[in-house]
Amino acid sequence: MTTASSADHPTRRDFLFVATGAFAAVGGVITLWPFISQMNPDASTIAAGAAIEVDLTPIAEGQDIKVFWRGKPIYISHRTKKQIEEARSVQVSSLPDPQADQARVKEGHDQWLVVIGICTHLGCIPIAHEGNYDGFFCPCHGSQYDSSGRIRQGPAPANLEVPPYQFVSDNKIQIG
């Protein structure tokens, strides 16, 4: 009836149909972009996710605080000598997610552990100072982290994430 022209003899009509169809298809796909892009964080959310500064002076040895950065809880632990020792005496290769404690803290500030307090299993918040490893215990599915925030036992696949941060002074860090 209409468009059945064989592939051996491409006609001007075929070209027109293909061009129009291609234009519509490409244009349609590109038009989708704003509809998808709008789901990404908006400008105010991004601006609110800027770096924060935290004063460490009030945190006594053996204590920890929880601060929020980008909506995520960040544990800042002032570790005791014992905790540091425990974290460093374990053989790294025996860990589920092998990583040395030194690689998880800033040199010269070994007593400060800064980790994102979100279980790497399914996103629950582990409780500090609980579990068998002097670290964190996640109540949701029983993952246990040690005093370096490394996974030791349970279903979580990876260590607690260390957020980007740096020491602005001995008693102040900037997260982000």
Q: How many CB atoms neighbour CB 162 within 10 A?
A: 18
Q: Toward another protein, which CB reaches closer, 15 or 158?
A: 15
C-alpha span between 137 and 48 (Å, rounded): 30
Q: How many CB atoms neighbour CB 118 within 10 A?
A: 18
Q: Toward another protein, which CB reaches closer, 37 or 94?
A: 37
Show Cβ contacts of residue 46 under 8 Å, excluding neighbours closer than 6 positions: none
Residues of this chain that bind another protein (CB under 8 A) = 1-3, 13, 16-17, 19-20, 23-24, 27, 34-35, 37-40, 42-45, 47-48, 50, 58
Q: How far is the CB of 47 from another protein (least distance, A)?
A: 4
Q: How far is the CB of 11 from another protein (least distance, A)?
A: 10
144 Rama class: left (phi>0) / alpha (psi -120 to 50) / beta:
beta
Question: Residue 88 — φ and ψ, nearest 5°?
Answer: -95, -15
Q: How far is the CB of 74 from another protein (least distance, A)?
A: 16
Choosing from 9, 121, 129, 141, the catalytic residue is 141
Catalytic, 9? Answer no
Q: Toward another protein, which CB reaches closer, 4 or 91?
A: 4
Q: How far is the CB of 72 from another protein (least distance, A)?
A: 17
Number of H helices, E strands in the chain: 3, 10
Q: What secondary structure letter does DSSP report for 80?
A: -
Q: Toward another protein, which CB reaches closer, 9 or 93?
A: 9
Q: Which residues are catalytic?
A: 141
